[in-house]
Amino acid sequence: AVINTCGFIGDAKEESINSILELVEQKNEGNLNRIYVMGCLSERYRKELREEIPEVDRFYGKFDWKDLIKDLSPSGLSESASCQALNTRVLTTPKHYAFLKISEGCDRSCAYCAIPLITGPHISRPIEEILAEVEELVKSGVKEFQIIAQELTYYGVDLYGHRRIAELIERMARIPGVEWIRLHYAYPNRFPMELLRVIREHKNVCKYLDIALQHVSDHMLSRMKRHITKQETLDLVAAFRREVPGITLRTTLMVGFPGETDEDFEELMDFVRTARFDRMGAFAYSEEEGTYAADNYEDDVPAEVKQARLDRLMALQEEISAELLAEKVGQTFRIVVDRKEGDYYIGRTEYDSPEVDCEVLIRATDRPLEIGSFYNAKVTSAEEFDLYAEIQ
């Protein structure tokens, strides 16, 4: 068995370790021969993991794919065969969409974040290499692309001396067969505004932007080393909605960062009430060794206070989401069908990313639908995070 781990925050580490221990139990029962562990957790804590979980046959770093492929082959692979295997894209998603990573690493120094410690500095993939991969994926049946990076909007600076994310997305949008392009993990500081033009002008670039804001209090933003102010944040959100009418904004927020006061948190709540994000995730701060926050701040917000704040924030977002989705009843949207579950086909609009956002449920008794195909669907009812619709 091969398990790919995450070592970003405490909950992810715990989940990864529990998954490893489940495999160890299966191995001890004779149901598995070998266990290979790779990914961020293994990259960062390889020595400790070897000592604590000796039942694992081998731990690999985040970028040790070549060694893993050789070990998985019964007789080993030659250098050329290993490289060929590495360059062959195998989808773990449904065949109609793919996640496309355009860079690795991050040059930011946010006080709480361990990602730069794990992945290293920002390294952009060449534009031509990315476009070639898109063309190959389209040939294999992929219609929808989730563009991802540790920091999407920094793309190109290391290779070309300036940001080229807008150019990359515009060239992708011109490739025949690309139905949807969705952008994930933008950074607010020095956001490249020309990207908004690309979103606005190209129908196959989804009116959707995932941008982690983390907080809005100037006190918190400064301590987090986010290099942006509250007013700049407010202006940016307003610009998104002004330049791309109807855009869906997804953000991620953090509660319980060291030094967060009741006033800071209430300021964040007021911001969420006013901004009314279409999609939002949130998490409680967990101290990560090696980060600026771990080395310089006391983790002084009690765990129960963090959880209470998180619960209040997510309850507020649930109300906002329910109100926003209720407004869509009676409207018709283009959807893609992802799968069939029981009596329903499950699809998404261009405003929803797979696995994390809203889904559209369509009764399977109405008419047979093809997985991976696009249809027009009229919304008939809404819940807090999902829509029900009929095919038109």
Summarised one tens digit per residue, pLDDT across range 79-133 is: 544 444 445 556 778 899 999 999 999 999 999 999 898 889 999 999 999 999 9
Rounded percentage of the chain residues whose pLDDT exceeds 70: 93
Best CA proximity match to 371, nearest among 389, 347, 388: 347
Residue 285 burial (CB < 10 Å; 0-12/13-18/19+)?
Answer: buried
Domain boundaries along the sequence of the chain: 2-86, 97-326, 332-391
Rounded percentage of the chain residues whose pLDDT exceeds 90: 76
Please name the fold of domain 332-391. OB fold (Dihydrolipoamide Acetyltransferase, E2P) (2.40.50)
Q: Is residue 116 within a helix (H) or strand (E), and if so which, with residue range? A: helix 115-119
On the question of pLDDT at 144 being above 90, the answer is yes
The residue written with tokens 């330049």 in the block is 243
Side-chain half-sphere of 204: how many Cα atoms within 13 Å?
Answer: 17
Phi-psi region of 351 (alpha: psi -120 to 50; beta: other; left: phi over 0): alpha
The two most distant CA atoms of the chain are separated, in Å, by 62
Structure-token pair, residue 308 = 């209470």
Please name the fold of domain 97-326. pyruvate-formate lyase- activating enzyme (3.80.30)
Classify domain 2-86 by CATH architecture.
Answer: 3-Layer(aba) Sandwich (3.40)
Cα end-to-end span (Å), the chain = 45
pTM for the structure as a whole: 0.85
Rounded Cα distance, 79 and 338, in Å: 38
On the question of pLDDT at 77 being above 60, the answer is no
Read off the amino acid at residue 225. Answer: K
Task: Evaluate whether 272 touches 237 at the Cβ level (below 8 Å).
Answer: no
Task: Evaluate whether 334 touches 203 at the Cβ level (below 8 Å).
Answer: no
Task: Evaluate whether 102 touches 124 at the Cβ level (below 8 Å).
Answer: yes
